[in-house]
Amino acid sequence: MTQYSSAARDEAGAQNLETATEPQTTPLQANAVQPRPVLDRLPKYAAGKPPAPIEGLTSYKLSSNENPLPPIPAVLDAIREHVGTFRYPDPLSTALRGALSEYLDVPAEDIVTGAGSLGALTQILNTFAGQNEDGVQDEVVYAWRSFEAYPIVVGTAGARAVEVPVLDDGRHDLEAMAAAVNERTTVVVLCTPNNPTGPILRTDEVERFIAAVPRNVLVVIDEAYTEFVRDDDAVNGIEMYRKYPNVAVLRTFSKAHGLANLRVGYSITRPEITAHLRVIATPFAVSTLAERAAIASLENADAVAERVESLVQERRRVVAGLAELGWEIPEAQGNFVWLKLGEAAADFAAYAATHALSVRAFAGEGVRVSIGEPEANSRFLEICRNYPTKPRLSK
């Protein structure tokens, strides 16, 4: 593999390469306040960073799966008109839950809002997974690699993470995940489309999986990127929640709606589950500003859908361009693509940084590249054209 070793590349790589790091430990001192021991065992979350500026090039951030388009005008108007920052928000987000109830045709009582879908998941784990009074930990099963926050929020809840490797094509190994469920399992998390690898879960395989696990195990379907899915066979979490009492759905306004900075997401579960979630839910997690912006976005869903479709078309262009270059990638159904570059992941990320693009590298595994502005996507394809190592998937 050709190494792009130069001072500029090293500096750019240092600023923009983000890897899955080992826990950072701090020597303990006697007679000092100590953190919980679990902190030394948790990975460190690495948020996407902007690229280093390169003279003569417009910089683009493709490292955080953000929507590169601003919220629709009606949302911006709602934000500008909000003046009630001196008052606490409604802790139940009643108006937003009412709007979601109408939009999704689910009872408002089955919706619990949170600070993004991650906040909603954290509330679920704090309610249904942890360490019991006898000292035995509950277990939470999820695919890996998947959303890097999963092991962090599972660990901080006090539960034990059970990570089941994804298949070579980036899909969940549902058979192995079902086999990993035991009497200590309380929660299973399914991520569809899977972040960062991209494939969806299909209705028939999810229904077989739900049938294979005990009914006292909560199956959480994380659909943060559902608006970008274009496969008719993709599972619909809300339909699963309607059919199965042990299913919870996670959704967010961060991605398709472009409200990542406002932190508003939600879970949908049956009343017997929701009642417990409300006890543990973080008070005032969703601000009134975020609530009003989310409602305005729902009220203009057609305009949001148009913007999402433009990103889907860009994704298709990128996927087709990669295929033309001979790059093999997993199915891409989110607003990102996954390059299974293995040991070349760090080098590719550093090379992209020298071209004013930041991408999300996972050391030794691969690189996730968000779909961004058309110019950014075209530059990414040109980088791939010139990079000597192509990702391959086993047949």
Query: Is residue 204 domain-resident?
Result: yes
| Model pTM score | 0.91
**Environment class of 204 (CB within 10 Å of its CB; exposed 0-12, middle 13-18, buried 19+):** exposed
Per mean pLDDT, which range of 24-33, 296-305, 346-355 is the poorest? 24-33
Q: How far is CA 371 from the centre of its chain?
A: 14
Query: Is residue 327 domain-resident?
Result: yes
Same domain as 223, residue 154: yes
Domain of residue 264, CATH code: 3.40.640.10
Q: How many CB atoms lie under 10 A from the CB of residue 302?
A: 8
Check residue 336 and give left, alpha or beta (phi > 0: left; psi -120 to 50: alpha): beta
Same domain as 312, residue 279: no
> Each residue of 76-116: pLDDT tens digit?
999 999 988 999 999 999 999 999 999 999 999 999 999 99
Domain of residue 307, CATH code: 3.90.1150.10
Same domain as 352, residue 323: yes
> Each residue of 276-328: pLDDT tens digit?
999 999 999 999 999 999 999 999 999 999 999 999 999 999 999 999 999 99
Domain boundary among 281, 299, 317: 299
Q: Give the domain range for residue 213.
A: 83-299
Query: Is residue 77 domain-resident?
Result: no
Query: Is residue 235 domain-resident?
Result: yes
- The total of structural domains in the chain comes to 2
Q: How far is CA 228 from CA 99, 237, 253, 333, in A?
A: 21, 14, 13, 6
Q: How far is CA 393 from CA 167, 171, 243, 327, 365, in A?
A: 10, 12, 35, 9, 12
Q: How far is CA 215 from CA 109, 237, 368, in A?
A: 22, 17, 35
What's the pLDDT band for 186 if we cut at 50, 70, 90?
very high
DSSP helix/strand/coil, 282: coil
Max Cα distance, the chain (Å): 62
Same domain as 283, residue 234: yes
Query: Is residue 395 domain-resident?
Result: no
